[in-house]
Structure 1
Amino acid sequence: MAKVIILGSSNAVPTRDHENTHLAIIGEKRSILVDCVSNPVVRLEEAGVDFNELTDIIITHFHPDHVSGVPLLLMGMWLMGRTKPINIYGLHFTMDRLEDLMGFYGWAEWPNFFPVAFYRLPEAEMAFVLDDDEFRISSSPVHHMVPTIGIRVEVKQTKKVLAYSCDTEPCEQTVRLADGADILIHEAGGATYGHSSAEQAGEIAARAEVATLYLIHYPTGRFAKGDLVTEAGKAFQGEIILARDFMTIDI
């Protein structure tokens, strides 16, 4: 059975127990990293995932708390002798900057580097990301400070649907992206520019008629804000779960 592993659940300021938000989608043949931060090799191994078995990386947007780990991950794969290709997906804005970032490290001069394919996604709703015998993944633009995507994952074996908002203020695109999903993972960073409160996440979940809402990308440590599950429950009557690092969700 496919699963999602919450590798981090914090907003941009992590703590010892809450790393920056990023996820892994694990199937029988495909292992997909959604955003890449901190020390990804260690984080994945702590979660029981062989980093060298990753097949795909989806980068939702070009902010440090979502993309800073990519150079270190690719270098680790190269040093471990990886030869099989890896696919990286993101908007044009994101991929252009990520390629520039890798260029600053001079990776074109690293000998025998494995193939890396950068797939530029259109800034359109329900854009095609990938489709195989395990998953169908689509992306939609959401409302953040830079061009950003949320994703919709359809699991073919179980027929389950998971949607992930990424960083966004409330928007119609997220409602449509999550429409009828079994699981919505929605940020709860607070009702500020480019972000959503837990109650606003609950409103999106209710409008999209999802079954279960997971709150993620929330303030932690000294910035923590009250009972987010109770706050989301003001607007959403379904199951609400506060995402925690290394939590596993069957899909």
Structure 2
Amino acid sequence: MRLLLHACCGPCSLEPTRLLRAAGHDLTILYANSNIAPAEEYARRLSTLQTWASDENLPVIEGPYNPAAWEACAGRVGEAANDPERRRARCRACYRLRLEETARLAAAEGFDGIGTTLSVSPYQYTDVIREELNRAAAAAGIQAIFEDFRPFYDEATRRSRSLGMYRQNYCGCRFSDAEAAAERAERKATRAAAREAERAAHADELAAAEAERQARRAERAAYDAKQAKKRAILKALREQQTSEDH
């Protein structure tokens, strides 16, 4: 079928496009990601996607970049609270905005269906992505082609690194940027604490080993002193015996 594939970035597009092409779909990629901030990050991801897609003879359409629209829905949800359930609701609002844009454009341009590369990431809410893709497609009167691409995440990572593609370290929105930074800081602190604990344990081991060496040296010194005393006594006895013999 003629499929409009929503893509979040270049690296996440590698395996989904390979698999969908192998299934016989005629693909056009849509980069519709008003969630991505700042604008420089948005442009860098788009450029990476376009460069790779050109080499693959895959057409790329850029959707409208409207951060204000994103802030009005997902941003507002994200501001309401900071907990796992609110994060899920924020991501749902974000998926909905982008997949609705995809479905509207697909229907207007005569595509048979829509899909998304979002489900390649193990860090996304796969069940929510499926629900929102199906909902958006049904509302636009087209088909939804959903696949759980998470089993291919490692291969996508390997391929994107081998191709030298820019790989972002957060999902895209300002919330995910802050969350990723906090997680990196936590991991850094955990690694630092582990290294410090290892150094402390090693220091304790060194101190114990040094104490053992000192104890052995003291024991040897006491033994040597005892033996020297014995030798001195024997020498005195021999000298006394020699004197008496004369």
Answer yes or no: same fold by TM over 0.5: no
Max Rg structure: 2
Which protein has greater RCO, CA pairs closer than 8 Å, 6+ apart? 2
For normalisation by structure 2, the TM-score amounts to: 0.34
